[in-house]
Amino acid sequence: MLSVKHDLLAALAAELEKLSPGAGAKAVFESPKVAAHGDFACTAAMQLAKPLKLNPRQVAESLKSALMATPAWAQWVDAIEIAGPGFLNVRLKPAAKQEVVREVLQAGEQFGWQSARNERVLVEFVSANPTGPLHVGHGRQAALGDAICNLFQTQGWDVWREFYYNDAGVQIQTLANSTQCRAKGLKPGDAGWPESAYNGDYIGDIATDFLAGKTVKSDDREFTGSGDADDLDGIRQFAVAYLRHEQDLDLKAFQVKFDNYYLESSLYTSGRVEAAVNKLIAAGKTYEQDGALWLKSTDYGDDKDRVMRKSDGTYTYFVPDVAYHITKFERGFGKVVNIQGTDHHGTIARVRAGLQAANVGIPQGYPDYVLHTMVRVMRGGEEVKISKRAGSYVTLRDLIEWTSKDAVRFFLLSRKPDTEYIFDIDLALAQNNDNPVYYVQYAHARICSVLAAWGGDVASLASVDLSPLEGPQAQALMLQLAKYPDMLTAAAQDFAPHDVTFYLRDLAASYHSYYDAERILVDDEPVKLARLALVAATARVLHNGLAVLGVSAPSKM
């Protein structure tokens, strides 16, 4: 059906050009708001009426006659109906809809994918400082980042996943001090326990392993504890490596992998922060006031100028961000997406201002941002606020252990990133249609059981006669399959993996309706094979869509 749609749009564009030069760009189809109105809708007649100084319905009548005279429309379109002020409602022949089944089975895992575009995109996500376990907010970010990367891959991008973290600073020093206190026998609540210290049980675990001289290894570092409770720098390095290892375990359980880990400290040791500041000074976009160095960020739409270097000589936190993003651009990433919490909203204007002021060729609007809200966790109708492991919040590992990786991923992706989300543990464990991930996975497993009962070669279904697929439920299911490629493209453009979850639920619903309406393993061989081809194509698209989300497609449940 993709080729059918392409041919119909090409013919539409040609006829629009005949009516008005340049109007071919208006050759687009919309989905009718009411399914009974047709398979495609077109508003071009209403858009052309004013420049042509004609009644919209007159334009629609002329366009209808011209289109039905073209080979593509004559072959694939059953009827064109003019509605309202000039809508063209298009009804396809069953054969047009049936084409999508063959397209899905022939393309397989690549159905809906676009050809390589030879462009690179860097998606930075999670980026948690190594001061504690990953919490459910990091989990939402991991699910979002990984799914957005997968969406970009379907659109032909060369995708790079990056994890950026602060391996220095006040928080890391607090981590080291907290661990040292535990190594010296203090614990939360004791006299002398620092008020600012981290209180989770994990601090005690780090101290115990450090004193035992253990070696900890993460994806980007390795360190052996000296066992000396007075070795504060050694404790700091050990604690960072220990928690990076813990984060790696969380991410492994979540099946998230990164191509690179980027250290904030490297921006200073490599001189990149200083170089970025010098670029801004040389561009004339800074000034000195009250002993501080300021960026003229108001020149770029910020609500006020921002301090870059404080009077004590230290840099404010957005300065290394500017240096970091200059390195991203210099590394060849023309498109960059940052997945961050909504608390980072205030940094967007100043980082973009700094990048423009640096005058290094970075385009306006670079980088893109996807901001997400935090996640509340409910169990038994009550909010779960703390984890013994973390001491103050629910960890990602807790959530996975309580439910499953699939449920956590699907649930955390089922809403727009900037909307508050309540993760319901009980719903995630429910094996019924109210549980969205169960509902979608069950549709896939249900099809697999049908194909297993048949016992034939699924690959052979790509060449069967599809003409028996004429029932209303079958045609509705085929139309739903045909929406998948455009849905992927729109979801990638809008950074909207939640659109994939909505689509999969709709596709599962269409399949369940079809399954209830028509028996698949009938005695009539041509009918049986056509129906098997349709459900096999549906299973493939369910599998592909779940893969974009990082969710499995079980064959049995």
The CATH number linked to 14 is: 3.30.1360.70
Diameter over CA atoms, the chain: 90
Given strand 77-83, what is the order of strands in its sheet? 40-42, 87-92, 77-83
User: Cβ distance 539 to 444 under 8 Å?
Assistant: yes
* pLDDT at residue 50, as a whole number: 87
Does a structural domain hold residue 150?
Answer: yes
Q: Is the pLDDT of residue 515 over 90?
A: yes
Q: 25-39, 145-159, 331-345, 481-495: which range is least confident on average?
A: 25-39
Q: What pLDDT is attached to residue 391?
A: 63
> Between 446 and 2, whose confidence is greater?
446
- The domain boundary, picked from 401, 429, 457, lies at 429
pLDDT at 35: 77
Which of 92, 116, 141 delimits the end of a domain? 92
Q: What is the pLDDT of residues 395-438, one digit of tens each?
A: 899 999 999 999 999 999 999 999 999 999 999 999 999 999 99
Could you tell me which residue, 26 or 425, shows the higher pLDDT?
Answer: 425
Residues 156-190: tens digit of each pLDDT? 999 999 999 888 778 899 999 999 999 999 999 99
CATH number, position 244: 3.40.50.620
Question: How many domains, the chain?
Answer: 3
What's the confidence (pLDDT) of residue 220? 86
Residue 448: pLDDT over 80: yes
Tell me, yes or no, whether 315 lies in a domain. Answer: no
CB 182 within 8 A of CB 203: yes
Indicate the range of 82-96, 202-216, 473-487, 492-506 predicted with least confidence. 82-96
% residues pLDDT > 70 (the chain): 99
For residue 451, what are its two tokens? Answer: 């194909």
Chain centroid to CA 520: how far? 35
Tell whether omega for the bond before 94 is within 30 degrees of 0, i.e. cis. no
Instruction: Work out the burial of residue 67: count CB atoms within 10 Å of its CB; fewer than 13 is exposed, 13-18 middle, 19 or more buried.
Output: buried
User: What percentage of the chain carries pLDDT values higher than 90?
Assistant: 84
Cβ–Cβ < 8 Å for 384, 392: no
Q: Do 249 and 135 reside in the same domain of the chain?
A: yes
* Cα–Cα nearest to 80, from 47, 32, 48: 32
SS3 content of the chain, % helix, strand, coil (to 5): 55, 15, 30
Q: Which two tokens stand for residue 121?
A: 């995109």
- pLDDT(25) > 90: no
Q: Are residues 398 and 481 in the same domain?
A: no
Parallel, antiparallel, or unpaired: how do β-strands 77-83 and 87-92 relate?
antiparallel
Q: For the residues of 323-384, what is the DSSP string, one character each? A: HHHHHHHHTT-SEEEEEEEGGGHHHHHHHHHHHHHTTSSPPTTPSEEEEE--EEEEETTEEE
Assess whether pLDDT exceeds 80 at residue 367.
Answer: yes
Tokens of 125: 């996500």
Q: What is the mean pLDDT of residues 226-249?
A: 95
Do residues 150 and 244 share a domain? yes
- Whether 26 is in a domain gets the answer yes
Provide mean pLDDT across the span 271-280: 96
Cβ neighbours, 10 Å, residue 222: 11
Residue with the bigger pLDDT between 20 and 495: it is 495
- Mark whether 240 and 387 lie in a shared domain: yes
Residue 61 lies in a domain: yes
Same domain, 396 and 541: no
323's CB contacts (< 8 A; 6+ apart) are 267, 272, 273, 275, 276
State how far the Cα of 205 lies from the Cα of 398, in Å rounded to an integer: 17
> At residue 390, does pLDDT exceed 70?
no
Look up residue 492 and give its two tokens: 């990638």
CA R_g for the chain: 29
- Phi, psi of 556, deg, nearest 5: -140, 145
* Residue 143 belongs to a domain: yes
Query: What are the Cα distances from residue 517, in Å, to 355, 447, 476, 512, 514?
Result: 58, 15, 12, 9, 5
Which residue range(s) make up the domain with 528? 433-549
Confidence (pLDDT) at 72: 94
CA angle 133/135/139 to nearest 5° reads 115
In this structure, the answer to whether residues 58 and 167 fall within a common structural domain is: no
Do 20 and 69 fall within a single domain? Answer: yes
pTM of the model: 0.91
